[in-house]
Amino acid sequence: MLCIFMCLGAVVADHDNYGKMTDNKKSQLHLATLVSPFIIIGLGFIVATLSYHTTSQYAWLPPMIFYWAILFWCIVFLRGLASFKFWLKKSEGGFGWRLLSLLTPAFVIIPTMLYSKGFSFDNPTIVVGWVMIVILNPIVEEAYWRAILTDATHTWKGWQSVFFTSIVFGLSHPLIMGINIPLVSGITGFIGTFVNGIIWALVYYKTKSLRWGIASHMVTNFFSIGIFFGVLKF
């Protein structure tokens, strides 16, 4: 399955010349994009399950590294890093859509205050994890789950595009990270991620920019990470 995915990427890798692509190559690019979330979730689930059986305190790390790596690969091969210039342009639409992004941090502030056990930055794992989860993760997730998938479904009705991108985003967390991280496991992990996904997808769909989505995602993860490392007892 991974080989098929890589071959699809190789076929459409000249995304910078999209305007010069044949209709056949454009169709291959579109197919690769729509199929990609299911392959990511399937492969991520396998990696997470194998890592779970190591029973290590750091069992969550290999699936996360794999997840970030394959999202980055998708960004490069399906759209190209130059797309960030377009994705990070000035937001359009009403200011209310930008304010909508503030809902996701609001969801986690109170649980963080109630359940976070705190952690020490003397632990290198905490420092690396904080940087990756708070800074890197929002950038690659918003670029892939919001921008790439929303752009690929731009011919769909708005609610269909938002629902599709949010449902696959919601599934990715309990089926990959949730195997080793209780915070995003099971139905509660799916619902929380799905709701956040709907908000961020709406913000991108209406503003045509990732600026507010990435910022909101970073703040949300900042508050969530206290619970995350607290649960893992670092």
Residues 192-214: tens digit of each pLDDT:
999 999 999 999 999 999 999 99
pLDDT-derived band at 125 (thresholds 50, 70, 90) equals: low
pLDDT at 136 over 90: yes
C-beta separation of 221 from 134 below 8 A: yes
Chain length of the chain: 234
Q: How many CA atoms lie within 13 A of 57 on its CB side?
A: 9
Alpha carbon distance 27, 12 (integer Å)? 9
C-beta separation of 129 from 224 below 8 A: no
**pLDDT the model gives residue 190:** 95
- Nearest residue to 146 (alpha-carbon basis) of 201, 217, 93, 221: 201
**pLDDT the model gives residue 183:** 78
C-beta separation of 177 from 63 below 8 A: yes
Alpha carbon distance 69, 29 (integer Å)? 20
- Least confident range from 5-19, 23-37, 69-83, 182-196: namely 5-19
pLDDT-derived band at 110 (thresholds 50, 70, 90) equals: low
**pLDDT the model gives residue 53:** 82
123-149 mean pLDDT: 87
18-39 mean pLDDT: 83
pLDDT-derived band at 40 (thresholds 50, 70, 90) equals: very high
**pLDDT the model gives residue 15:** 53
Q: What is the pLDDT of residues 62-94, one digit of tens each?
A: 999 999 999 999 999 899 999 999 999 999 988
pLDDT at 120 over 50: yes
**pLDDT the model gives residue 165:** 97
pLDDT at 225 over 80: no
Query: pTM for the full model?
Result: 0.86
**pLDDT the model gives residue 55:** 66
- Tally of domains within the chain: 1
Q: How many CA atoms lie within 13 A of 128 on its CB side?
A: 8
Q: How many CB atoms lie within 10 A of CB 62?
A: 17
Its domain, for residue 52, covers 2-231
H-assigned helices in the chain: 2-11, 23-52, 61-74, 83-87, 95-100, 103-115, 124-131, 137-141, 149-152, 158-175, 186-207, 211-231
The proportion of the chain whose per-residue pLDDT surpasses 90, expressed as a percent, equals 57
Residue type at position 59: A
Alpha carbon distance 82, 143 (integer Å)? 12
Alpha carbon distance 86, 134 (integer Å)? 22
Report the greatest alpha carbon distance in the chain: 56
Alpha carbon distance 191, 189 (integer Å)? 6
Alpha carbon distance 214, 8 (integer Å)? 28
